[in-house]
Chain A
Amino acid sequence: MLELGADEYAKYPFMADAGQYLKDKGFPLAKFGTDPDLKPSVEKAFHRLKVSTEGGIYKSELIDGQASKSYILEIEVFSFLLAIVLIKLTGMHTLTKRFALAEARRAEQHLERDLGKASEKSKIDLAIKIIHDLFGIEVIKRDDFFEIPVADYLKHSIGFHEREWKLINRYVKNGKVLLTPEKTVRLIRKELGTYIGSKIINAPTPPMIPGFENMVNELTSICKKLTPSYTMTTGEYPPCIKHAIEVLEKGENLPHSGRFMLATFLLSKGQSVEDIAPLFKNAPDYNQRITLYQLNHLAGTSGSGTHYSCPSCEKLKTQNLCFAIPECDNIINPIQFGKKRI
């Protein structure tokens, strides 16, 4: 394991061994339920979780990875670890998923910033070391770029559907792929989420801590409301739609044409705007107000009143959104998919 400083733990709290960290600091878990001095950490943990259930990324009090006071750093780490405790006590898988995703995105921002710091070698080294230790990718800094062995690049990029990630669209030289800091980090986004998720799953579940009950109850009820949006990925959707949902769930960017297809498809299947909106929550540029406005527009419930229908397979092919399989034969529009022919 890496030896990290307090500011580094604040940025990458998932690098800490939770139980050990708290013990080292001399705080038994039970104390967090009662000690008023520790209350800010607990509140922050709760806040952190709530933000993640809303599809957002929690904004820490760090400024450019630094804190004005050292206790702020401590609260950062404590709140992360306590959030995990709350997740375990709540026992909801949705919460694990959302929190892991949000924290991965947060860490991603820090990694990206650290890699881009041309002048601060130690920051770059730490980011490189995290990427290496966690994901086995050997990254070497070369001028403004980062070099990654082609084989490692392929292993991590193979799940990406956007054409820009195809090897042919990368700068390849001497067995290495050259990437910007942003793309380097983007390459491990999914695994970062999985890593944080597995840390949560593997963490032991403590007995209920007196003083935590209300928060646990509230989180449980929030999650129950969220769950329906995840029942969408069932087998009966055509591959183009499944792909679009996948892209969104991974928090990757789905082009406008893809969002249009997905929304019109689901609307035509009788889903409501409120059902559909949560799907877009993980999109990098998510904005609730705009999403609802756009969906209402498509559904014809606002503005012009025109009702938009799902584009044809032909059209989707030209937009690179089609991933046809044999079951797609003989249909001309995704909404026909899965219907029996007579």
Chain B
Amino acid sequence: MQENNIKFLEDTFKKYYFDHFNLIRVPNRTSEREFGFQKFNSGMTRHISIKDDKELHLLLMKNTPSDVYCSNACYSFPNLPMNEKDWKEADLIFDIDAKDLNLECRKNHTISKCNECNEISTDINSCSKCNSIKLEKKSLPCKNCINASKNEISKLSNILIEDFGIHPNDIHVYFSGNEGFHVYVYNSQFQKLGSKERSELTDYIMFHGAIPETFGMKKIKPNRSTFPDFDEKGWRGRFSKEMYGTKSKRSKIITELIVNGYSSFQKTLDDLSDKIGVKVDPNVTMDIHRIFRLPGSLNSKSGLTKVFCTDLTKFDPYLEASFLNEQLVEVIANCPIRFNLKNTKFGPYYGEKVSIPTFAAAYMICKKIATIS
């Protein structure tokens, strides 16, 4: 990134951390967490320990990071190298990302930047100018993407509460600042679980690895009465709601399932995970040494804040996660699609010089589709 763009973002980010430090949610047991940060155009600094908010504030002011991270794990010695940290426990975290949901709408709001000639276009397969296929894709997620993610979150919460007995107050949902959401689970029986066990939890949540017997089907002489009832709890209940549709169709569907046989039933189960399983990123949940974007900090891929969603159904990231100031700046923007921030429409811009509020300018510069003029 060019010097003047970096300078602009650094100034803007610094002002944000000065004005909005109250948005930062310093995790409990602060001193047992590992912190890390990145500066614009430079690598990651990890293994930092911080006593309290004051120290964190100081770090933010001194370094003006592009991104700030904090571990979900607690350690005895968070500042030592990984194998000497002495891992104690970790909050359970799920990552739900719009880009993993295979949504139809994505092609409408994905733009590409050519690595060879810097051409920006809505053509996502090859550069419209030089035909190169080395493209960097940028997505400006739409309402549909956000709603689909929210739907996954509500499926997830339902399992966490009903099946795993988590108290709703211990489930915190954050918008990641870019394309997804992070769901944190605090104070659960899972705090001390290792990586393999967490991976087993995600298999459960994603509906992976189910066998026919669990849903009443047998290889030899299947028995109708062992199939799930419509009102059952847990996966047997979700299975029957998806498969039977209504209570009255139960009997008919079971007949079909039995006629189709055991291996067809297994196939049905495998296909079901796409429909009723929750689409979380399993690698995130099983990594017990990861550092996550700190709640309340800015995401340098968008200039938006990782915010706590108090009311998920109503939550609109393009309204509630944009905290940068409104001061006008001149940029050269190259954004062939329209986007909406803080109730204002921007674009499309075709390599033109425009004067727009800082929050919108930062959004485009972070996406690398605009530069300070």
A residues neighboring B (CB under 8 Å): 149-151, 154-155, 158, 163-164, 166-176
Interface residues of B in 151-184 (CB under 8 A from A): 162-166
B192 close to A (CB within 8 Å): yes
Are B203 and A168 in contact (CB-based, < 8 A)? yes
Interchain CB contact (< 8 A) of A164 among B190, B197, B213, B234: B213
24 A-B interface contacts by CB (under 8 A) = A151-B189, A151-B197, A154-B193, A154-B197, A154-B200, A154-B201, A155-B193, A155-B197, A158-B196, A164-B211, A164-B213, A166-B204, A167-B201, A167-B203, A168-B207, A168-B210, A169-B210, A171-B234, A172-B235, A173-B162, A174-B163, A174-B164, A174-B165, A175-B165
- Give every chain A residue within 8 A of B207 (Cβ-Cβ): 168
Are A149 and B204 in contact (CB-based, < 8 A)? no
Closest Cβ–Cβ distance, residue B280 to chain A (whole Å): 14
Closest Cβ–Cβ distance, residue A203 to chain B (whole Å): 31
Are A163 and B196 in contact (CB-based, < 8 A)? no
B214 close to A (CB within 8 Å): yes
Q: Which residue of B lies closest to A171 (CB)?
A: B234
Are A166 and B200 in contact (CB-based, < 8 A)? yes
B208 close to A (CB within 8 Å): yes
- Give every chain A residue within 8 A of B208 (Cβ-Cβ): 168
Are B209 and A163 in contact (CB-based, < 8 A)? yes
- Give every chain B residue within 8 A of A158 (Cβ-Cβ): 196-197, 200
Q: Compute how far the CA of A263 lies from the CA of B196 in the bound complex, rounded to whole angstroms.
A: 30
- Give every chain A residue within 8 A of B165 (Cβ-Cβ): 150, 173-176
Q: Compute how far the CA of A35 lies from the CA of B352 in the bound complex, rounded to whole angstroms.
A: 106
**A154-B201, A169-B210, A173-B165 known, 11 other contacts, Cβ within 8 Å:** A150-B189, A154-B193, A154-B197, A155-B197, A158-B200, A166-B204, A168-B209, A171-B236, A172-B163, A173-B233, A173-B234
Are A163 and B211 in contact (CB-based, < 8 A)? yes
Q: Which residue of B lies closest to A170 (CB)?
A: B214
Q: Which residue of B lies closest to A154 (CB)?
A: B197
Are A169 and B189 in contact (CB-based, < 8 A)? no
Q: A151-B192, A166-B200, A167-B201 are in contact. Are A172 and B164 (CB under 8 A)?
A: yes
Q: Which residue of A lies closest to B236 (CB)?
A: A171
- Total A-B contacts with CB atoms under 8 angstroms apart: 70
Closest Cβ–Cβ distance, residue A323 to chain B (whole Å): 14
Q: Compute how far the CA of A176 lies from the CA of B164 in the bound complex, rounded to whole angstroms.
A: 7
Q: A150-B189, A151-B189 are in contact. Are A168 and B214 (CB under 8 A)?
A: yes
How large, as a class, is the contact surface on chain B?
20 to 34
Q: Which residue of A lies closest to B160 (CB)?
A: A175
**Which 10 pairs show the lowest CB-CB distances between chains A and B?**
A175-B165, A154-B197, A174-B165, A151-B189, A169-B214, A167-B204, A166-B209, A172-B163, A168-B204, A168-B210
Q: Compute how far the CA of A166 lies from the CA of B190 in the bound complex, rounded to whole angstroms.
A: 16
Q: Compute how far the CA of A61 lies from the CA of B207 in the bound complex, rounded to whole angstroms.
A: 48
Closest Cβ–Cβ distance, residue A176 to chain B (whole Å): 7
Closest Cβ–Cβ distance, residue B347 to chain A (whole Å): 45
Q: Which residue of B lies closest to A167 (CB)?
A: B204
Closest Cβ–Cβ distance, residue B229 to chain A (whole Å): 13
- Give every chain A residue within 8 A of B204 (Cβ-Cβ): 166-168, 172
Are A175 and B210 in contact (CB-based, < 8 A)? no
Q: Which residue of B lies closest to A159 (CB)?
A: B196
- Give every chain A residue within 8 A of B210 (Cβ-Cβ): 166, 168-169
- Give every chain A residue within 8 A of B163 (Cβ-Cβ): 172-175
Q: Compute how far the CA of A163 lies from the CA of B190 in the bound complex, rounded to whole angstroms.
A: 22
- Give every chain B residue within 8 A of A164 (Cβ-Cβ): 211, 213-214
Interface residues of B in 183-234 (CB under 8 A from A): 189-190, 192-193, 196-197, 200-201, 203-204, 207-211, 213-214, 233-234
Interface residues of B in 57-83 (CB under 8 A from A): none
Are B189 and A167 in contact (CB-based, < 8 A)? no
Q: Which residue of A lies closest to B198 (CB)?
A: A154
- Give every chain B residue within 8 A of A151 (Cβ-Cβ): 189-190, 192-193, 197
Q: Which residue of A lies closest to B191 (CB)?
A: A151
Q: Compute how far the CA of A149 lies from the CA of B163 in the bound complex, rounded to whole angstroms.
A: 11
Q: Compute how far the CA of A173 lies from the CA of B238 in the bound complex, rounded to whole angstroms.
A: 13
Q: A149-B189, A173-B162, A175-B165 are in contact. Are A167 and B233 (CB under 8 A)?
A: no
Closest Cβ–Cβ distance, residue A142 to chain B (whole Å): 14
- Give every chain A residue within 8 A of B162 (Cβ-Cβ): 173-174
Are B189 and A175 in contact (CB-based, < 8 A)? yes
Closest Cβ–Cβ distance, residue B76 to chain A (whole Å): 22
Closest Cβ–Cβ distance, residue B349 to chain A (whole Å): 48
Closest Cβ–Cβ distance, residue B282 to chain A (whole Å): 13
Closest Cβ–Cβ distance, residue A175 to chain B (whole Å): 3
Interchain CB contact (< 8 A) of B211 among A155, A169, A175: A169
Q: Which residue of B lies closest to A165 (CB)?
A: B200
- Give every chain B residue within 8 A of A174 (Cβ-Cβ): 162-165
Closest Cβ–Cβ distance, residue B278 to chain A (whole Å): 12
Q: Compute how far the CA of A219 lies from the CA of B291 in the bound complex, rounded to whole angstroms.
A: 56
Are B164 and A175 in contact (CB-based, < 8 A)? yes
Closest Cβ–Cβ distance, residue A69 to chain B (whole Å): 45
Q: Which residue of B lies closest to A175 (CB)?
A: B165
Closest Cβ–Cβ distance, residue A163 to chain B (whole Å): 5
Q: Which residue of A lies closest to B206 (CB)?
A: A168
Are A169 and B213 in contact (CB-based, < 8 A)? yes
Q: Which residue of B lies closest to A166 (CB)?
A: B209
- Give every chain B residue within 8 A of A172 (Cβ-Cβ): 163-164, 204, 234-235
Q: A149-B189, A151-B192, A174-B165 are in contact. Are A169 and B209 (CB under 8 A)?
A: yes
- Give every chain B residue within 8 A of A173 (Cβ-Cβ): 162-163, 165, 233-234
Closest Cβ–Cβ distance, residue B236 to chain A (whole Å): 8
Closest Cβ–Cβ distance, residue A167 to chain B (whole Å): 4
Closest Cβ–Cβ distance, residue A97 to chain B (whole Å): 25
Q: Which residue of B lies closest to A174 (CB)?
A: B165
- Give every chain B residue within 8 A of A167 (Cβ-Cβ): 200-201, 203-204
- Give every chain B residue within 8 A of A168 (Cβ-Cβ): 203-204, 207-210, 214, 235
Q: Compute how far the CA of A28 lies from the CA of B201 in the bound complex, rounded to whole angstroms.
A: 53
Q: Compute how far the CA of A166 lies from the CA of B209 in the bound complex, rounded to whole angstroms.
A: 7
Q: Compute how far the CA of A83 lies from the CA of B211 in the bound complex, rounded to whole angstroms.
A: 43
Q: Which residue of B lies closest to A169 (CB)?
A: B214
- Give every chain A residue within 8 A of B236 (Cβ-Cβ): 171
* Interface residues as binary, B297-319 with A (CB distance below 8 Å gives 1, 0 otherwise): 00000000000000000000000
